[in-house]
Amino acid sequence: MKFVITKASSDDYMTIRDFPTVESLITFMKEQDNPLILDNNFWYKEKAHSVSNFSKINPDELVSIPYSIHIYDDYIE
């Protein structure tokens, strides 16, 4: 399953990663020094052209991924 990955500490960090198994997702979680927040992808089902200015990621791919992982490496609120 693909996830859009972002970081609390950076407005510019965004990547897409595919986790073929739950075990691979758990391994990723254990590799992080910070908690992860699994959530709905904010851009899911938006029009690709509305996303193109916000990311270097392929907009068509970004809007097709339903879930995101937010690396909680800085204060959000």
Predicted pLDDT of residue 74: 87
Is the confidence at residue 51, as pLDDT, over 90?
Answer: no
Rounded Cα gap, residues 24 and 1, in angstroms: 10
pTM above 0.85, yes or no: yes
User: Cβ–Cβ contacts within 10 Å for residue 31, how many?
Assistant: 7
51-68: average pLDDT: 86
Q: Which two tokens stand for residue 5?
A: 């990955």
